[in-house]
Amino acid sequence: MLEVDGVTVRFGGVVAVDGASIEARSGEITGLIGPNGAGKTTLFNVITGVQPAAGGTIRLDGTDITKLATHRRAKMGMSRTFQRLELFWTLTVADNVRVAAELARHGDPTALTEELLDRVGISHLAAEPSGSLPTGSARLVEVARALASTPRVLLLDEPASGLNESETVALGALLRQLVADGLAVVLVEHDMSLVMDICDHVSVLDLGRIIASGPPAEVRTQPAVIEAYLGVA
């Protein structure tokens, strides 16, 4: 599905991502964890084509997309949400999703909007202005919007940030449902209990390098991971 192979990103003298490789498969949630500044968001930016890679290869279903423009990657089935919420705050919840549904141009945008709001469980908020939403609901609007293009790969950058415990549990259930429908999800998240609960596979990034990779139960016990991250979480 999505293969990131030896990707490097430099900002001047800073190596933000240093030969990182991760994979995301259909039907699975791949967790990408690591301390602040490890390079997680930068890696998402490279995968989506917002940031050029200084080295390495990105493949989607075997096709090299390393040099492809962001909108072409989106057309091929890649979608994302942002660490810093990016909604149209003056628009209603429904209109935020409708904008994406219209851009997606498959089927009736109104019907697709209703379906997406229902899918993420916020139909009752359709007419609310986005600016008045609590963070938990706003993050779900972003997920609904990201789903409008019927992606095959969904990249989520700290979707549980600002969510309370019950919202986090509901988000986890939603993500499991999405992968059961065939999506590949890459989850950047600091909430370790969520990551350990719902991920099939976890990769740990530290100072731009992948220092561990495997099933969550294995990764969490590795000394290098505990030292770099879990011990201070």
Nearer to ligand ATP, 43 or 141 (CB): 43
Tell me the closest approach of the beta carbon of residue 37 to ligand ATP, in angstroms. 4
Tell me the closest approach of the beta carbon of residue 70 to ligand ATP, in angstroms. 16
Residue 57 backbone phi and psi in degrees, to 5: -135, 140
Residue 41 binds to Mg ion (criterion: CB under 5 A) = yes
129: exposed, middle or buried (Cβ count in 10 Å: 0-12, 13-18, 19+): middle
Nearer to ligand ATP, 125 or 157 (CB): 157
Part of the chain binding Mg ion (CB under 5 A), chosen from 75-83, 136-144, 194-202, 223-231: 75-83
Q: Which of ligand ATP, Mg ion, none sits in contact with 49, Cβ below 5 to 8 A by type? A: none
Quote the CA–CA distance of 7 and 19 in Å, as a whole number: 5
Residue 45 binds to Mg ion (criterion: CB under 5 A) = no
Q: Which of ligand ATP, Mg ion, none sits in contact with 80, Cβ below 5 to 8 A by type? A: none
Nearer to ligand ATP, 36 or 63 (CB): 36
Q: Which of ligand ATP, Mg ion, none sits in contact with 85, Cβ below 5 to 8 A by type? A: none
Q: Which amino acid is at 99?
A: V
Nearer to Mg ion, 8 or 83 (CB): 83
Q: Which of Mg ion, ligand ATP, none sits in contact with 39, Cβ below 5 to 8 A by type? A: ligand ATP
Q: Which of ligand ATP, Mg ion, none sits in contact with 11, Cβ below 5 to 8 A by type? A: ligand ATP
Torsion angle (degrees, nearest 10) of CA 211, 217, 218, 220: 40
Quote the CA–CA distance of 161 and 136 in Å, as a whole number: 8
Tell me the closest approach of the beta carbon of residue 116 to Mg ion, in angstroms. 25
Residue 28 backbone phi and psi in degrees, to 5: -130, 150
Quote the CA–CA distance of 54 and 8 in Å, as a whole number: 5
Q: For the chain, what's the residue count? A: 233
Residue 42 binds to Mg ion (criterion: CB under 5 A) = no
How many other C-beta atoms can be found within 10 angstroms of the C-beta atom of residue 115? 17
Quote the CA–CA distance of 21 and 8 in Å, as a whole number: 10
Residues that bind ligand ATP (CB under 6 A): 11, 14, 16, 34, 36-42, 83
